[in-house]
Amino acid sequence: MAIEWDDIGIIISSRRYGESDIILHTLTQNHGSHYGLVKGGASRKRRADFQIGNLLNLKWKARILENLGTYTCNLEYSFSANFLDNSDVIMKILTLCSIADSVLPEREPCNNIFTQAYHLLKVLNDNYWISSYTKWELNILTHLGFGLSLNRCALTGATDELIYVSPKSGRAVSKSAGQPYSKKLLPLPEFLYNSKIIDPSINDMICAMDLTEFFLLRHVYDSDINKIPNARKRLRSSILERYERA
């Protein structure tokens, strides 16, 4: 008896398989990060349906659970369709999908990660998209068991003037407690722990990307900078250029 399920999923990567098939890697709502074979998916007629970041209605089917399985799918929405000439937006889509593709454990449910990713794809034009995106990366770190503690000073328990993060513990440190060690600590943008801040500066958003990258490198990518997706590197560079021009 075959095993099958229905779900929705975001395409986070795809690769050609044989003459006309493709293997899709999707971030699904209820089944986590999941692979499947799409027969005929590489055809000219269907190619546009399988662009990175597209949302699909999926049916996965396999003879046994351990098999790759096959996807029968229909396009629900293409988030990139209206932004094909906007390189910044395309870079956001590629960054989000490449991070999900490279760090999320296979077939491990992560509904909150999917929900956040889906929301990010719906607000690609938002001026403060990066602030929401870095919070998503923080949640990924938490999901993987490497969550940061940013709401209280690790040394004093204070909840105000939290401006540093310990690179060893991943815990916040207040201005007064961290001053003697400031050169060894990482900067903490306030918007990451203060939900009242909805319009962080570009500099703070860059700092937030650097903070999450530090811990992704340490805990997930084994300190190999080459494993950080190129799309993410280019996105950070474009934000930095915008900051330097301002």
Going along the chain from its start, the domains and CATH numbers come out as 3-81 (2.40.50.140), 126-245 (no CATH)
- Quote the pLDDT of residue 130: 97
**pLDDT of amino acid 246:** 62
Mean pLDDT of 20-45: 96
- The answer to whether 35 and 25 are in contact (CB under 8 A) is yes
As to burial, measured by CB atoms within 10 angstroms (0-12 exposed, 13-18 middle, 19+ buried), residue 175 is: middle
What are the tens digits of pLDDT across the range 170-216? 999 999 999 999 999 999 999 999 999 999 999 999 999 999 999 99
Q: Which residues contact 209 (CB under 8 A, 6 or more apart)?
A: 130, 134, 232, 236, 239
With beta carbons less than 8 A apart as the criterion, state whether 52 and 32 touch: no
- pTM given for the model: 0.95
Per-residue pLDDT tens over the stretch 135-166: 999 999 999 999 999 999 999 999 999 999 99
